[in-house]
Structure 1
Amino acid sequence: MPENAQAGSRPATLIVDHEDQSATLIAEIENYLSQQVQPRTAVMNEHEAAEYIGCSVSWLRNNRRSSTAPPFVKIGKNVRYRIDSLDAWLSQQEIKN
């Protein structure tokens, strides 16, 4: 047994390998969690809705009463867009050749 080795101690390479494996596992878990779908609320405000469907807030405001815009709900004075309604509206906008 080498002079500076103690009984029951592990070589430094095993400790480094264990730390590398732990770091790799943690990185894989963090990557997996970041890719999971986050729970959505049932409604969005006009800024979130505009971003969601790819238009400007001003387009939503100007066309709110038009049949070309997605349906909305009023909660008190606030305008909200149901996610299900936005998804349905987007599906209706598809052009099939």
Structure 2
Amino acid sequence: MESTAKIQVENRLLTTQESANYVGLGVHRLEKLRISGGGPEFIKLGRSVRYERAALDAWIAASRRRSTSEAKA
């Protein structure tokens, strides 16, 4: 059974810096993807941008390809 503390850490919203580290991109690249619409789903809270870990995982999974010539879905 998972502890409450572990569940809270996994469910908390990540900053852009934390999200960029999580997916292995630079902060500026993640910001550009957010502007262009090609990045992961995000949450806007006032002036702050946050990401859910599940949204980052889904974005990574959707980016999976078998070859470089494969068309985007």
Tell me the equivalent position of 2:25: 55
Equivalent of residue 41 in structure 2, options 42, 51, 71? 71
Distance 2:12 2:53 in 1: 6
TM-score (structure 1 length as normaliser): 0.55
Q: Which of 45, 52, 55 lines up with 1:82 in the alignment?
A: 52
Please state how far the C-alpha of 1:42 moved relative to its aligned partner: 2.7
Listed as ranges, the gaps of 5+ residues in structure 2 are 68-73
1:53 is displaced (CA, Å) by: 0.3
Q: Report SS of the residue matched to 1:65.
A: helix
**Separation (CA, whole Å) in 1 of partners of 2:37 and 2:22:** 19
Q: Taking CA–CA contacts closer than 8 Å with sequence separation of 6 or more, which of the two structures ends up with the larger relative contact order?
A: 2
Q: Which segments of 5 or more consecutive residues in structure 1 lack a partner in the other structure? A: 1-37
User: 1: CA distance between counterparts of 2:12 and 2:59?
Assistant: 15
RMSD over aligned Cα, in angstroms? 1.6
Bigger radius of gyration among the two: 1
Q: Distance in 1 between matches of 2:55 and 2:11?
A: 13
Q: TM-score, normalised by structure 2?
A: 0.71
Within a 5 Å distance, the mapping from 1:1-97 to structure 2 comes to 39=6, 40-97=10-67
- TM-superposed deviation, 1:68: 1.9
Give the count of matched residue pairs. Answer: 60
